[in-house]
Structure 1
Amino acid sequence: MDMRHVAGTGQTRCYDSEGRETGCNGTGQDGELRPGEKWPDPRFHLMGETVLDNLTGLVWSRDANPGVFPLTWQEAIDRITELNREGFAGYSDWRLPNRRELRSLMSYQAKKPALPDKHPFTNVYLSWYWTSTTAVINPAYAWWVHLEGARMFYGSKSQYAFFWPVHGPGNNLLPATGQQHCYDSEGSITSCHNSGQDGEYQAGNAWPVPRFSTVKDAVLDRLTGLTWTRQANLCKAPVTWQEALRTVNDLNRSGFAGRHTWHLPSINELESLVDAGNHSPALPPDHPFTELQEGYWTATTSFFETDWAWVLYLHKGACGVSHKSRPLFHVWPVADT
């Protein structure tokens, strides 16, 4: 299977700026184009106390809350160490998932929880779940994902959240996050040895060197196979979501950079650019992009509230949502190579 190292979001429907479902044809929305690796059917394979995700090759605990109670970040890591000593569900190599691994479970055509239809998991809480990835913009914080609607932000490592263990190398669909260091709960760099952190495991597909290849006005990401406009501020000012979609359509009519296949990226495509080892911007340090902005629209509607759409906060690397009618975010087109 020829993988692009970006998973599809699962979004199959389209919605206008008022949140009404609409026909997808010609909209340029995620629900029309459905970019990324197609989900297999069935998506999951139940194996007793564990579940194989046929999309990523990762194996998850069927119980989405083996810790019973919310824990601090370090407590969650320590509890997984205990589960490994106990041989939980027959395995001793469980780990706290990194931010891309946990996000890979999310469906953007579902809510409460934001998991694929007919998933086999139990004890799923509509709350924050820890990842092993520190938020380097403030290393006393770590990335977490909210299972109610799939938002990803960061919380203080001293706060309490649930954890959901994963094990196995997967099938190389997911790229590594880029995080190479480890941090304690106060935010100081610490040894990665036996830390259980993202910086220790660096799980996921390794990044090519160099990561990017530039040809005039376009940049090929050699990790994902996606091509981006080198200029990351197509409209020069924030626009509404519908204006963003319209602008990319106009770009195709003009044949920008010799292409007619540009689209507004899905949330998974845009997040694939993030380097979790950097911030302000959260991009690889050798990136060639110009005119970078803080916030960008995606073509993915928020299924939690369909008059909102997913956005990426580039300085932080966070995935959030914004009302489609508000001219607050910028446009950064992508094309499949």
Structure 2
Amino acid sequence: MKFNSLIIKSICVTMLIVGCKNSDTNKVIVPNNDIHFVLSDTGQDKYYDNEGNEINKPIKTDDYYGQDAQFTSIASAYKDNKNGTVTDLNTGLMWQKTPDFNRHNFYEAFDYVDDLEIGGYTDWRMPTIKELYSLLNSNGELFPQDLNASKPYLNTDYFDFEYDKRMPFAGQYWSSTKYVKGPLQNIKMEGAFGFNFADGHIKAYETGLYYNGDTGVRDPGCFVRAVRGKENVYGINVFINNDDGTVTDNATGLMWQQVDDGDTYNWKDALKNAKNSKLAGYNDWRLPNTKELQSIVDYDKKTIPAINEAFFKCTNNDSWFWTSTTQGDFKYTACYIAFGKAYSKDNSDAKDYYDWHGAGAQRSDPKSGNVEDYLMESINAADSIRIKNYVRLVRNVK
């Protein structure tokens, strides 16, 4: 690994080891050597083709080699404390086992959590979006007409979950992470990120305010699952520029491609591009799974792209990056992370797209075909469809 005199200076932009000032937030970063950012596996254990058919495990010369199930990391591990709490044995975070299953306004959710006493603990808080996403189990699947056959994107052996029977797809849970890169939708509203454990997506939801602070935005609210544990630990990256086109995150043990190649690919070709790469002399590159790619999103940065530009470059700021993870509800699609604006429009008849879900959202796109093949009539928000997305390679270093 190569080092130079600029590394320590650049590390302070991201990691909590020195009293550096974050130029984007103008806040002093407090020293903290207790970096503990364990990325557990997504749990996806089956292989799929472009059409969503389950296939046998591919070998390296096969198409579809390198998808999520091909590579397993640290398995999720939980302990039911038998007092209304569940401890994640990988992250050390303690979670509320059973939510109240009521929808809360974003700002009122903080009051709800502040008043909680569970298991004798009163120091509950709202999770960040990276903490909340750590609970993802990618084997979820929603059947709106048969909820008994549905599986949320959550380990229900440990966590209680209920579908909204009126809107089974609406299983959104708040995080504490506000969307700071600009207004959302065509009404210029303020958003805060949440994860939908019913359909397996991240997006920014209505806080009840416009971006300028005015009230009056429609405010359906989201559910809350509280957490306790040290703040500003999980989700903090420790980036090192290796000076060979790669960046290592010492917090997760992952090495990343520093600059994408500027091309877009369908999902099968993205997998192929990864397995054939010899970047920096390594031959074990792969597409990141959805948890891995979400781990390098910069949610605090106020500008797009949603990535730390002291270490990474997106050749196009308006960029979506493929993951190796098939989306459970529609297995002909795969998950992507939007590092640029996450576009949607009012309905399928509308003409104009807006930043609807926020840079840092996790959505899904068809793995192959033509955009017109997937256009559906909808009276609700209709996501932009691209099919060809960018690639940022990853490999394990420890």
Regarding TM over 0.5, the answer is: yes
Name the residue aligned to 1:13: 46
Counterpart position of 1:48: 83
Alignment of 1:310 onto 2:335: yes
The CA deviation at 1:124 is: 6.1
Aligned residues: percent identity? 27
Structure 1 partner of 2:354: none
Contact 1:44/1:52, CA 8 A, preserved across alignment: yes
Q: Distance in 2 between matches of 1:141 and 1:333?
A: 30
C-alpha distance in 1, partners of 2:102/2:236? 34
Q: Output aligned runs, 1:158-307, within 5 Å.
A: 158=208, 159=219, 160-169=221-230, 201-204=231-234, 206-208=236-238, 211-233=239-261, 236-251=262-277, 255-278=278-301, 279-289=303-313, 291-293=315-317, 294-307=319-332
Contact 1:45 1:53 survives alignment (8 Å): no
**CA displacement at 1:120 relative to structure 2:** 4.1
| Cα gap change, 1:317 to 1:206, in 2 (>3 Å) | closer
Determine helix, strand or coil for the equivalent of 2:109.
helix
Aligned-residue Cα RMSD (Å) equals 2.2
Q: Could you tell me whether the CA contact under 8 Å between 1:17 and 1:307 is conserved in 2?
A: yes
Q: Match for 1:239: what amino acid?
A: Y
Give the distance between the partners of 1:298 and 1:205, measured in 2 at CA. Answer: 18
SS of structure 1 residue aligned to 2:70: helix
TM-score by length of 1: 0.79
Is there any run of 5+ residues in structure 2 with no aligned partner, and where? 1-34, 60-64, 142-150, 165-169, 184-189, 209-218, 341-358, 370-386
Task: Output the CA distance in 2 between the equivalents of 1:288 and 1:238.
Answer: 17
Distance 1:212 1:137, change over 3 A: same
2:38 touches 2:90 (CA, 8 Å); kept in 1? no
Q: Give me the whole-angstrom Cα distance separating, in 2, the residues matched to 1:243 and 1:16.
A: 12
Q: What SS is found at the alignment partner of 2:223?
A: coil
**1:73 match:** 106
**Partner SS for 2:321:** strand
Which of residues 74, 97, 100 in structure 1 aligns to 2:130? 100
CA 244–207 in structure 1, closer or farther in 2 if over 3 Å, else same: closer
How far residue 29 of structure 1 moved from its aligned partner, in angstroms, is: 0.7
Task: Pick the aligned partner of 2:139 from 109, 129, 132.
Answer: 109
Whether the 8 Å contact between 1:273 and 1:283 is mirrored in structure 2 is yes
Code of the aligned partner of 2:263: A
**Runs of 4+ that moved beyond 4 A:** 122-126
CA-CA distance at 1:101 after TM superposition: 1.2
- 1:154 paired residue among 204, 212, 215: 204
Give the CA deviation at 1:16.
0.5
Indicate conservation of the 8 Å contact 1:58/1:168, yes or no.
yes
Describe the SS at the equivalent of 1:242.
helix
* Residue 187 of structure 1: aligned partner: none
Answer yes or no: is 1:121 the counterpart of 2:146. Answer: no
**Aligned counterpart, 1:328:** 388
State the structure with more CA Rg.
2
- Cα deviation per residue 1:30-83 (whole Å; 9 max; x = unaligned)? 10112x42333xx3424221122223222111212x2x4211100111111222
Report the Cα offset of residue 128 of structure 1. Answer: 1.0
Q: Amino acid of the residue matched to residue 201 of structure 2?
A: R
Q: Residue type matched to 1:248 in 2?
A: A
Secondary structure of 1:157 counterpart: strand
Q: Encode CA deviations 1:2-24: one digit per residue, 9 max, x unaligned.
A: 97732211111110010001112
Aligned residues: 290
* Structure 1 position 30 matched with structure 2 position 62: no
- SS of equivalent to 2:280: helix
5+ residue gaps, structure 1:
170-200
TM-score using structure 2 length: 0.68
The reply on whether 1:143 has 2:165 as its aligned counterpart is: no
Hey, what's the Cα distance between the residues in 2 that align with 1:3 and 1:132?
A: 19
What SS does the corresponding residue of 1:143 show, helix, strand or coil? strand
The alpha-carbon deviation at position 204 of structure 1 amounts to 2.2
Q: Is the 8 A contact 2:203 2:361 kept in 1?
A: yes
* Aligned residue in 2 for 1:178: none
Q: CA deviation at 1:241?
A: 0.5
Q: Which secondary structure state, in structure 1, belongs to the residue aligned with residue 242 of structure 2? A: strand
Q: How far apart, CA to CA, are the structure 2 residues paired with 1:91 and 1:123?
A: 24
Once the two structures are TM-superposed, the CA of residue 212 in structure 1 deviates from its matched residue by: 2.6
CA contact (8 A) 1:63 1:123 kept: no
Per the TM alignment, residue 309 of structure 1 is displaced from its structure 2 partner at its CA by: 0.5
Q: Matches of 1:304 and 1:324 in 2, distance apart?
A: 14
Structure 1's 14 and 4: CA in aligned 2 closer, same or farther, altered over 3 A? farther
SS in 2 for 1:6: coil
> Could you tell me how far apart the structure 2 residues matched to 1:217 and 1:168 are?
35
Contact (CA 8 Å) 2:37, 2:233: kept in 1 or not? no
In structure 2, give the amino acid aligned to 1:37: I
CA contact (8 A) 1:312 1:319 kept: yes
